[in-house]
Structure 1
């Protein structure tokens, strides 16, 4: 594995860092102030002008749609390994990825439509998503079942002539609160009698379709995450054309696995960026504050935590890069153990570092005067978003045990310069 970033990636890193310094960090507080002003006027669910004004600047800088590899519709898309250091930089500020059209859940939804949608689906929904004109949501998790096991999903997708009729209730539908959210990808059962992993399908549902009702916004540690939102959505006798079904009946579970692989590693890349930002804020705070006659940064307990933070972050980054490299070279299926490992490691690493940074800031750390509290809330959700830690640990253990079964064959890593 080559540890040196290419000249192309280094150039993009430099441009992205410059963009962050010029446009993102100076507007960080203004972004939240704009949401607060909208809330005071009675509606926090309004897209911010700051992001809309920055999008054309990002596109002009060549920092747009960087996440989607191997797509003729998005030729600027990078490989997973190339994208990793750039996604990490974006992850330093929670709302930054949207500026570059690299925000979840749109990234995963665009990849899903690109890989599994018809050309008509792509023309209608992928193209405006790639242009940043609309947003999207992914409706998989349900309140009535343990959705960590996707085969539990109860939402029904039933064929009726040239249409499908959908009935169910979803929640944690991230992005469904945004008034620009125009399309949902919905997972449900088309055939409850089929084999366990062939019961599910995925279908495209326009947000304005009759029978679609956003019930409420769910809060995370009391925050509603407006104007993005994590919504509970009811689907009652929702009719959509049969051509909106992705690939075919019974393919939903396979599509979910294909979608969640890249989505998981993107979350991990951003988590490392958040951890780096937290470490930076922690060091600055400790250097600036004096307690008991000396800088707090001179106290042994804080030097232990700083050293531990640096080691944890670098370990997580290396594992993320390895997973990205394997996804690019041997595919997501072979890399499933590495993807699962980093999905456990990265959020837990970020949480530990952010928690120490909060402690270093005292009362300020849990306030909105600093980004740490919202960073902690976001990272905590990632311990179960796209699969909880327990499911990933179980998958890692099964894959490890399988290596040592009689007759098991070792998977050889591709060899490149620097291996």
Structure 2
């Protein structure tokens, strides 16, 4: 894909966002850029005429999407599965790894529930137990994780940055320690992939999962699973017909087969050929790649530095810059989050999320200096 020749800046023209809306909530649900919206409309019109959908169409968009995701993270298509949700992908990892009796499953404190419930089910099956790394007061998750990694840990499952406030995990340091101890590393990069570069070859996780509807700018109900080749012989959560060998031969589907397609495709969900959602996902991936993930992260980092400085001047507490993701931040206040501030944001159509004890601010390339001014002026008027 072609990369921009100059640094990226705000470009609201790609999105249908009115000027009186300040949308700082990409970590919740990304707006659709025009190419994604247009692809969805065209796909909807097509599915309204099913006689235009041929047997090969059940496969072609699936493989395009699989290839685009693989390219984004730097792997081969055969290592990628198409799944419906993060919890589905984490459950695949939990079923394949199967931590043993009395062993530890290492998670972060206040981790997103999709990363917790599958491991709770694993505890019931195996007799392992979950250990949550407490939130570090100084924001240094990496040191806290390293302090908890030892021979008692059977699997470590974590994000690249924490979903509540963007606090970073140095995955390279963590993965080095995991490899030393022989601990499989499972990653949920939903809140970073598309806005932060990821060195898959350097980190080498056992599994990696990402939802498609946040920083990947795609539609809801799309998600992706990377499985390292060492973990591509596990059980299927969904023993569907499309993952079988030679399933393209519709006339022979009555001749049931146990042999699966090679690679991570065994973990694909049934009905993966989502005729409306996959064209939208393709458009989203191509738009991200045309901008370049590193360029997106650089632009959002520059935007957020000014926003963070302005928030600090109003008394908000933020993470030290070295522990903060470039694209996502949590703003905390010594006196808690004032109810009147949340109400003022709502009244002035400034869209943010409250997660834990932080106001989560998650801009993207559609945000401009006027959005930042409105946000800071509104906060100042309430905090006095």
Is this a same-fold pair by TM over 0.5?
no
Tell which has more relative contact order, 1 or 2 (C-alpha 8 A, sep 6+). 2
TM-score (norm 1): 0.25
Question: What TM-score does the superposition give when structure 2 sets the normalisation length?
Answer: 0.26
